[in-house]
Structure 1
Amino acid sequence: MGVDLGELIEPEEIGFEDLHNKELAIDAMNTLYQFLSIIRQRDGTPLKDSDGNVTSHLSGLFYRTINLMENEIRPVYVFDGEMPDLKSKESSKRRKKREEARDEWEKLKDEGKISEAYSKATQSSKLTGDMIEESKRLLDAMGVPYVEAPSEGEAQAASMVGDEVYAVGSQDWDCMLFGADRMVRNLTSRKTRKSSGGGTKKISVERIELENVLDELEVSHRQLVWMGILMGTDFNPDGVHGIGPKTALKIVREHDSLEDILEEDKVKDTEFENDPELIEEFFLNPPVEETSYEFGEPDKDEIRKVLVEDHGFSEKRVNSGLKKLETALESRQPGLDSFV
């Protein structure tokens, strides 16, 4: 969800080698939802253990984190804290949409419409508190650090870019509105995706620099936030009717304040879900904290307990993953004390 600047910005395609020996603040909630959405069976059913507990998030977290570490990328996961009041209405709407999608998925699955069912299934993903806690438990066992944000994880991750980490790893452009100097997209995605024409489309890792975005669009960071408000963000998802990226860009270039923009003919009759000035303030000055974390050594017995004993993962596959993790740690460059 959130603002989409993809129509206006051409991201830089990069490879994992461009991220070697760099720490990335990964938006944990965004990533776990991604795993829940894409790691499914052909009819859309998520991976489950023998007790019926969903395990797609654990599978993605374990194997794709190892993949990053094999490529000498050091992930630091950032979890959401307390939900801001600005997001409460949207959260309720999303919950209702997930429930509706789940009902449609079950119906289509019963009718044997597998392809359509899968599409609806990906929209029904639900991340529970238990899933979040067992994800943290797995990360602890792997020796991979995580940070708990006071509020929005994207905001916290954005604040860490610079001295602490190289970039935010997220699919959502909203981290740019929170001021992230750099973001990386498609970090934990599949390498290919089905296209609307029935074929497959290659998915590349993308790097976006905030400075380049502002220069290319000829706007300030504040004006970028105004664009988000007009187009729709997590705090006002509907935006302003009829205003897309190009129109939003034109409007913000013509005004010096949000107050003036709200008096525009195209905007003034809009009923915003939240006060636009409060949204602007939240993006420009979100609740964030100083962070402290360190990488540790993996606890193989605890990893096996979480995955094999508790959730029935294949011991052979988990052991194979552990060997890859061990090899990745052994091959790390000397002097990277934070990764010891």
Structure 2
Amino acid sequence: MGVNIREIIPPNAIQTLSLDALRGKAVAIDAYNALYQFLAAIRQPDGTPLMDSRGRITSHLSGLFYRTINLIEHGIKVVYVFDGKPPEIKSIEIERRKKVKSEAAKKYEEAIKKGDLEAARRYAQMASRLTEDMVKEAKRLLDAMGVPWVQAPADGEAQAAYMARKGDVWAAASQDYDALLFGAPRLVRNLTITGRRKLPKKDVYVEIKPELIELDKLLKALGITREQLIVIGILVGTDYNPDGVRGIGPKTALRMVKAQPDVRKLLRSLPRNEFPTEPEKIFEYFLNPPVTDEYKLEWREPDEKMIYEILVVEHDFSPERVKNAIQRLKKAYREHFKTKQLGLDMWFKR
């Protein structure tokens, strides 16, 4: 779900970028967010995901492999951050998602029976599930590609935001705005879906480009603090209180935090029956989420044999296409990274 504050973000606080504008910059990508995008987008006309000869879904691997190569070809230093154990306060949202996916799976079957392929594809996307095995496969493929990944103790966006605040990466990347509430100085959206995309329920295609939102500029444009932004998120709904407060949208929430700048006093005044847990607890989680310093950002020469083993031998990808992509990846490393062994120091020379 993520927090939906798009409505109050001023147009001048959103900068449209080209991929080339991110050349030389390290970006921490919310891995689960990206993998779900790949699972939803890379499908057959009837909504069926890509699968190998044993019936195992491979859409996530296809998206991860080819999209990551595309980003590296533009000189973007990508690192993927994976979610850890979800906090207890997220349990209601997790159950809600399970219910939505279950209902979508039923509607998919009904649409297939009716021959409504457009609806079938839509419901199939909603029913996408990311399993533990899929996550392990994704990490293994990234290892083979020489692309670093970080295991967050809890929320991946919180970890990505922390890495950006430390300066280990230039920005966090996700479709959700939660990274801003977690304090990411920069958020890049649309990074893993850039390109020509079909609008839902319409036979219309649009060009999607990366968007940059800088936290300081956003807060200045809105005339609020990060703490007030967190409260806005709590009022409209987050993963930790999915329903928000009844009748309060982003604009009303913005007016409320400006009228009562003492955020803790405002939180104490909220109706407790609107929350699955204390709003103060959600507020503190955004301020101080579990994060780790136990990671090493190191980019390595790709292991051609291992990539081929994973994609072609194990999952029936096209040998020719994979070989061509590997050559593109190796060329991108040579052109942009200039060396076989790339450590953290090289990435962050200013």
Q: TM-score, normalised by structure 2?
A: 0.93
2:244 is the alignment partner of 1:239: yes
Shift of 1:271: 2.0
Point out the more displaced range, 3-12 or 33-42.
Answer: 3-12
Question: Aligned residue for 2:64?
Answer: 61
Shift of 1:269: 6.4
The CA distance in 2 between the partners of 1:86 and 1:59, in whole Å, is: 33
2:86 and 2:154 in contact (8 A); partners too: yes
What runs of 5+ residues in structure 1 fail to find an aligned partner?
none
What runs of 5+ residues in structure 2 fail to find an aligned partner?
none
Matches within 5 A, 1:136-215: 136-162=139-165, 163-195=167-199, 198-215=203-220
2:259 is the alignment partner of 1:254: yes
Point out the more displaced range, 8-17 or 168-177.
Answer: 8-17
Question: Over residues 78-133 of structure 1, what are the superposed CA-to-partner deviations in whole Å (9 max), with x where a residue is unaligned?
Answer: 01111111111211110111011011111101210011111111100100000000
Matches within 5 A, 1:1-340: 1-9=1-9, 10=11, 11-162=14-165, 163-195=167-199, 198-262=203-267, 267-268=270-271, 270-290=273-293, 291-334=295-338, 337-338=342-343
The CA distance in 2 between the partners of 1:333 and 1:306, in whole Å, is: 25
Shift of 1:231: 0.5
Q: What is the one-letter code of the residue matched to 1:105?
A: Y
Q: TM-score, normalised by structure 1?
A: 0.95
Shift of 1:257: 3.1
Shift of 1:193: 2.7
184 and 122 in structure 1: CA distance in 2 versus 1, 3 angstrom threshold: same
1:258 and 1:277 in contact (8 A); partners too: no
2:194 and 2:209 in contact (8 A); partners too: no
The CA distance in 2 between the partners of 1:140 and 1:63, in whole Å, is: 15
The CA distance in 1 between the partners of 2:273 and 2:208, in whole Å, is: 37
160 and 93 in structure 1: CA distance in 2 versus 1, 3 angstrom threshold: same
140 and 269 in structure 1: CA distance in 2 versus 1, 3 angstrom threshold: closer
2:194 and 2:210 in contact (8 A); partners too: no
Query: Helix, strand or coil for the counterpart of 2:7?
Result: coil
The CA distance in 1 between the partners of 2:59 and 2:292, in whole Å, is: 30
Greater helix share, 1 or 2? Answer: 2
The CA distance in 1 between the partners of 2:330 and 2:265, in whole Å, is: 57
Q: What is the one-letter code of the residue matched to 2:198?
A: K
* Aligned length, in residue pairs: 338
The CA distance in 2 between the partners of 1:210 and 1:315, in whole Å, is: 44
Query: Helix, strand or coil for the counterpart of 1:247?
Result: helix
How big is the alpha-carbon RMSD for the aligned residues of Structure 1 and Structure 2?
1.7
The CA distance in 1 between the partners of 2:254 and 2:76, in whole Å, is: 35
Identity %: 48
The CA distance in 2 between the partners of 1:149 and 1:235, in whole Å, is: 18
Q: What is the one-letter code of the residue matched to 1:325?
A: L
The CA distance in 2 between the partners of 1:254 and 1:192, in whole Å, is: 42
Query: Helix, strand or coil for the counterpart of 1:77?
Result: strand
Q: What is the one-letter code of the residue matched to 1:32?
A: L
